[in-house]
């Protein structure tokens, strides 16, 4: 299909705003499906994974296509939960228009604001769809007010509802002031403008026209002379304003009653940008590149999944040229792939495709080494699209296979699952001996564990990770480390005199060689360092590694026959052990920098909770209805924070977390940790 007649649209928004139901309604009204599935029954085109149907929520992005008035609309549905926000990040990269789905009951929520900023950063044109206006407590006026408070004067309502809550029956197009009512059919019937909405429609009409004429001096002059812009001028101006980000139209729908679905499809065709109008995503090199329908192929892999029947599937968006079946393309990782099994995706179904043009969304199966974030290009084209920057993980669990026989299977499963989901992180911590699975929340981790079991047959035992405490010192001391062993024949002998001193927090470990006069031969001095490092790793108080300490070896003794590296390694160990009682050791804990974003009404609860966790608030920021609190909180206090914040804010809060520094543990808590560590050693 001609790229000018292609529309790539992504549905994003907060959880339970109705994205999947809306997407299903669009497919139904567009004739792509003959029966409208439901999320509750697990029968939608988009939610087809076992974990999705079981939980009744979207867990991954899904793509399906329908046609409207000779145009092909590629629709990408995304999860709304913050646990799976990476899916929305990926989908935005592939889209030319983001439809922000906002519940008329719940209004603008945290996830909506977060994704709005991401779309702005990526330069994705935006529009808003207000859903669930047929529900109890729904309010169009309240939602519009929230949208303007959150996203500014670019918010431009282009439709007004007829009726409210259970009596919602239609809508009015603001530009033309034409009214449409629905009675369960796929399309609405034009009716006279109801008297009860006349005033609201006229007010909205005037506001829209003023927004339109402000973009063009000639239209503004004509408007002041009494001539309103034509429908064609309004369409062209709003279309241009959407692309530039100067106008964010607001539409209304009820997916269950099919109110406004046909007009939404028409809006996507008339107002939505085509692939040739969408600016190319940022390139890693920063150099300009002009996409061309007839030019070299350039595509971006935005999602990889494992299909139980087809195997590994890589989904990509084409930004330039045409991609053909069996074509060889280069990858940004430096390899080459051949596109066997090129196809289009319709939910879980796959339809073979001989080729895909600029703007097309397709997939290829069984191509190993291809991951989300890879760029595909024609040979000789040295262009790399900058990969998506995903949020850091906020929740962790330590995992082990339930059976030791499954260790190799688990390793394979983790490698594959991590390559599919860029928001997951697998970390093997040598100091605790644990394998850490980190993700965007407890639900994200639960789903990942379930997928590993269902796909790879591995049962996993999960627990909270061991807190990586550290130890340090607060006093200086010096000691002699002496190792002497004689057991017949050649013996072992080494003496090292070492000064230990505390270093500023975050300095780590420093080894200083001050030996003069050859009291320790040069070849043995590194062995003293090795022994000290080994001793530091065993700790003083509770077996945790000692950090922020300097060790200065300044003198020693050796034997011309009996001294060797082992002797001086042991001398280093003995020196630290001898000095330890005088070093006044302390216990350190990892402290995390946390940014919590919540609706304003939950701010007090969140602040109180942070204080109860030995946290320290560093600052606060806010925009519209949400507030962001920056705080430092000990890691031991927020291991289950994802679930706690969800409970505290009814699922409306989100947070980011990263390691910041180590700090001394208060005495009472330290004694408990030390006692527990020593008890486990016993």
Q: 483-521: per-residue pLDDT in tens?
A: 998 776 678 999 999 999 999 999 999 999 999 988 999
8 Å CB contact between 245 and 215: no
- Give the H/E segment covering residue 445: helix 442-456
Calpha distance 542→306 (Å, rounded)? 44
Query: Is 36 in contact with 28 (CB distance < 8 Å)?
Result: yes
Is the torsion defined by CA of 657, 662, 667, 669 positive or negative?
positive
Q: Kindly report, residue by residue over 154-197, the tens digit of the pLDDT.
A: 999 999 999 999 999 999 999 999 999 999 899 999 999 999 99
Cβ atoms of 547 and 470 within 8 Å: the answer is yes
Smallest CA-to-CA distance from 48 within 364, 308, 342 is with 308
Instruction: Name the pLDDT band for 114 (thresholds 50, 70, 90).
Output: confident
Alpha carbon distance 106, 82 (integer Å):
16
Q: How many residues does the chain have?
A: 682
The pLDDT, as a whole number, for residue 538 is: 94
**Per-residue pLDDT band at 315 (split at 50, 70, 90):** very high
The predicted pLDDT at position 382 comes to 85
Residue 541 Rama label (left phi>0; alpha psi -120 to 50; beta): alpha
Handedness of CA 252, 255, 257, 260 (dihedral sign): positive
DSSP assigned state of 627: E
What residues contact 124, with CB distance under 8 A and at least 6 apart? 10, 92, 95, 96, 97, 98
Exposed e or buried b per residue across 599-635, where buried means at least 16 C-beta atoms within 10 angstroms of its C-beta = beebbeebbebbeebbbebeeeeeebbbbbbebbbbb
CB within 8 Å of 51: residues ≥ 6 apart? 59, 447, 450, 451, 454
Dihedral of the alpha carbons of 366, 370, 376, 382, in degrees to the nearest 10: -140
Higher pLDDT, 320 or 278: 320
- Measuring CA to CA, which residue among 642, 644, 603 is closest to residue 621? 603
Q: What is the mean pLDDT of residues 592-616?
A: 94
Domains of the chain are 3-271 (3.40.50.300), 298-377 (2.40.30.10), 395-463 (3.30.70.870), 475-583 (3.30.230.10), 588-681 (3.30.70.240)
Percentage of residues of the chain with pLDDT beyond 70: 99
Please say if the pLDDT value at position 1 is more than 80. no
Residues 385-420 have pLDDT tens digits of: 999 999 999 999 999 999 988 999 999 899 889 888
In contact, 51 and 59? CB cutoff 8 Å:
yes
Q: Residues 354-374: what's their mean pLDDT? A: 90
Rg (CA), the chain: 31
pLDDT at 49: 85
Instruction: With a cut of 80, say whether residue 57 has pLDDT above it.
Output: yes
d(CA 473, CA 580): 9
Q: At 369, is the pLDDT very low, low, confident or very high (cuts 50, 70, 90)?
A: confident
215: phi then psi, degrees, rounded to nearest 5: -90, -5
Question: What average pLDDT is seen over the chain?
Answer: 92
Tens of pLDDT, residues 421-435: 999 999 998 878 899
Query: Token pair for residue 169?
Result: 């029956």
pLDDT for position 110: 83
Please answer whether residues 501 and 511 qualify as being in contact, where contact means their C-beta atoms are separated by less than 8 angstroms. Answer: no
675 pLDDT band, cuts 50/70/90, is: very high
Residue 148 has pLDDT above 90, yes or no: yes
Q: Tell me: the pLDDT tens digits for 635-651? A: 999 999 998 998 998 88
Q: For 322-351, what is the mean pLDDT?
A: 90
pLDDT at 169: 94
- At residue 592, the pLDDT reads 96
Residue 682 has pLDDT above 70, yes or no: no
Contacts of 519 (CB under 8 A, 6+ apart): 555, 556, 557, 558
Residue 681 has pLDDT above 80, yes or no: no
* pLDDT for the residue 489: 67
Dig out the tokens for 247 from the structure. 């106008």
Q: The sheet that has 126-131: what strands, in order across it? A: 62-68, 71-77, 6-12, 97-103, 126-131, 248-252, 155-157
CA dist 345 and 356 (Å) reads 12
pLDDT tens sequence across 602-612? 999 999 999 99
**Averaged pLDDT, 185-211:** 93
Res 436: pLDDT = 95
pLDDT of residue 430: 84
């Amino acid at each position: 299909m001609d790229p000018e007649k292609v529309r790539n649209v992504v549905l994003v928004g907060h959880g339970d705003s109705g994205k999947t139901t809306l997407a299903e309604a669009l497919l139904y009204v567009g004739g792509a499906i003959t029966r409208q599935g439901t999320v509750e029954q697990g029968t939608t085109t988009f939610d087809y994974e076992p974990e999705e149907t079981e939980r009744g929520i979207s867990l991954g992005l899904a793509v399906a296509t329908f046609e409207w008035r000779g145009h092909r609309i590629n629709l990408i549905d995304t999860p709304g939960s913050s646990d799976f926000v990476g899916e929305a990040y990926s989908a935005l990269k592939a889209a030319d228009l983001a439809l922000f789905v906002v519940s008329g009951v719940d209004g603008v929520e945290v996830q909506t604001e977060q994704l709005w900023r991401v779309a702005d950063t990526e330069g994705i044109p935006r529009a808003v769809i207000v859903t669930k206006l047929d529900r109890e407590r729904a309010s169009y006026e309240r939602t519009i007010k929230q949208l303007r408070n959150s996203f500014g004067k670019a918010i431009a309502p282009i439709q007004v509802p007829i009726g409210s809550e259970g009596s919602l029956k239609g809508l009015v197009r603001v530009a033309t002031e034409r009214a449409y009512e629905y009675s369960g059919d796929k399309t609405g019937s034009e009716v006279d403008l109801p008297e009860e909405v006349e005033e609201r429609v006229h007010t909205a009409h005037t506001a829209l026209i003023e927004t339109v004429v402000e973009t063009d001096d000639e239209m503004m002059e004509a408007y002041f002379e009494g001539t309103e812009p034509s429908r064609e001028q309004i369409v062209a101006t709003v279309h241009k304003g959407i692309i530039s980000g100067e106008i964010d139209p607001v539409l209304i729908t009820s997916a269950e009653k099919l109110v406004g679905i046909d007009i939404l499809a028409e809006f996507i065709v008339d107002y939505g940008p085509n692939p040739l109008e969408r600016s190319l995503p940022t390139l890693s090199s920063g150099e300009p590149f002009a996409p061309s329908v007839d030019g070299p192929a350039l595509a971006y892999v935005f999602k990889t999944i494992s299909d139980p029947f087809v195997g590994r599937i890589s989904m990509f968006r084409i930004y330039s040229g045409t991609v053909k079946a069996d074509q060889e393309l280069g990858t940004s990782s430096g390899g080459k792939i051949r596109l066997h099994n090129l196809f289009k995706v319709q939910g879980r179904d796959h339809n073979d495709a001989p080729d895909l043009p600029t703007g097309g969304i397709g997939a290829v199966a069984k191509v190993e080494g291809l991951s989300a974030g890879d760029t595909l290009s024609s040979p000789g084209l040295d262009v790399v699209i900058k990969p998506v920057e995903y949020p850091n993980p906020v929740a962790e669990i330590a995992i082990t296979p339930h059976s030791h026989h499954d260790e190799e299977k688990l390793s394979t499963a983790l490698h594959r699952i991590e390559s599919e989901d860029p928001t997951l992180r697998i970390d093997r911590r040598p100091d605790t001996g644990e394998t850490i699975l980190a993700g965007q929340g407890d639900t994200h981790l639960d789903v990942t564990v379930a997928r590993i079991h269902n796909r790879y047959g591995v049962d996993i035992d999960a627990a909270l990770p061991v807190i990586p405490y550290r130890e340090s010192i607060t006093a200086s001391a010096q000691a002699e480390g002496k190792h002497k062993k004689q057991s017949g024949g050649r013996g072992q002998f080494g003496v090292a005199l070492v000064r230990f001193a505390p270093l500023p927090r975050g300095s780590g470990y420093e080894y200083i060689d001050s030996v003069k006069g050859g009291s320790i031969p040069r070849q043995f001095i590194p062995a003293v360092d090795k022994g000290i490092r080994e001793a530091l790793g065993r700790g003083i108080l509770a077996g945790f590694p000692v950090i922020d300490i300097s060790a200065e070896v300044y003198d020693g003794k050796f034997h011309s026959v009996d001294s060797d590296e082992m002797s001086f390694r042991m001398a280093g160990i003995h020196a630290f052990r001898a000095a330890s009682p005088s070093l006044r050791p302390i216990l350190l804990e990892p402290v995390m920098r946390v940014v919590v974003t919540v609706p304003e009404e939950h701010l007090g609860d969140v602040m109180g909770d942070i204080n109860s966790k030995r946290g320290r608030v560093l600052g606060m920021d806010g925009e519209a209805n949400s507030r962001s609190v920056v705080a430092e909180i000990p890691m031991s206090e927020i291991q289950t924070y994802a679930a706690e914040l969800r409970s505290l804010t009814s699922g409306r809060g989100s947070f980011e977390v990263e390691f910041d520094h180590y700090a001394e543990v208060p005495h009472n808590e330290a004694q408990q940790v030390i006692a527990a560590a020593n008890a486990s050693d016993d």
